[in-house]
């Protein structure tokens, strides 16, 4: 397994080496040591590579991931897995603001807590948070699934479209146009699959589902105060 030491190797060289891997190359598993909070590490991976980062990272780690499997053995700064399109990203610790923002596909797993705006404007990504999430999470979320084993902060799902939100703990408050909905058998099936993939010790029946009330799709003068 090739190892990059960020205490001696420039970050640009590490990312360039990951991008340069060809479809027929034998080395597809990499290790990064001494990340020391580096920003934009392992961004833009578009092949089925495995990257283990031994330590905490700064902002936008694994952004635009499209097929890679990135594991951060520490915590992550703002925007981890931002605009992810495929593959998986796992954070063993906590994640800062807007984790998984605008994500279009793939699976983001956060073993600790996530700060505010987790899953903001998500467009198909699946996010599983083992701990709690902060305020304004899933703001304007359009599609995909956000699963939270802990609690959710204020204004969950504000201006939500068609994403599905599952929370096992308490929700401090719901955002505009977000309501609690029935958990049907198809939702239990979705939850079971995501919990298994995320290595989460929870039962689908323990969760409540939240979604869009669909009152903000078109402007209505009666709802003017909610816009």
Encode pLDDT of 62-116 as tens digits. 999 999 999 999 999 999 999 999 999 999 999 999 999 999 999 999 999 999 9
CA-based nearest residue to 132, from 101, 160, 159, 99:
99
Q: pLDDT tens-digit profile of 112-143?
A: 999 999 999 999 999 999 999 999 999 999 99
- Rg of the chain over Cα atoms, rounded to whole angstroms, equals 18
CA-based nearest residue to 158, from 116, 112, 188:
116
In this prediction the pTM is 0.95
CA distance 70 to 200: 18
Using the structure block, give the residue that is written with the tokens 């990203």.
89
Strand, helix or coil for residue 208: strand
- Kind plus residue range of the DSSP H or E element containing 192: helix 185-197
């Amino acid at each position: 397994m090739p190892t990059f030491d960020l205490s001696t190797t420039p970050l640009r060289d590490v990312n360039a080496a990951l991008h340069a891997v060809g479809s027929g190359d034998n080395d597809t598993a990499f290790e990064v040591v001494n990340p020391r909070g580096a920003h934009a590490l392992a961004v833009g991976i578009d092949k089925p590579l495995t990257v283990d980062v031994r330590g905490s990272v700064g902002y936008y780690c694994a952004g635009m991931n499209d097929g890679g499997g990135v594991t951060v053995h520490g915590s992550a700064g703002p925007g981890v897995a931002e605009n992810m399109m495929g593959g998986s990203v796992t954070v063993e610790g906590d994640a800062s603001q807007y984790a998984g923002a605008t994500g279009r596909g793939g699976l983001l797993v956060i073993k600790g807590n996530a700060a505010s705006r987790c899953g903001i404007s998500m467009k198909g990504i699946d996010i599983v948070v083992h701990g709690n999430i902060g305020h304004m999470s899933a703001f304007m979320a359009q599609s995909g699934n956000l699963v939270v084993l802990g609690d959710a902060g204020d204004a969950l799902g504000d201006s939500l479209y068609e994403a599905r939100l599952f929370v096992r703990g308490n929700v401090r408050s719901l955002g505009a146009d977000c309501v609690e909905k029935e958990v049907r058998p198809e939702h239990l099936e979705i939850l079971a699959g995501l919990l298994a993939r995320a290595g989460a010790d929870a039962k689908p029946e323990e969760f409540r589902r939240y979604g869009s009330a669909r009152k903000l799709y078109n402007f209505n003068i009666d709802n003017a105060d909610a816009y």
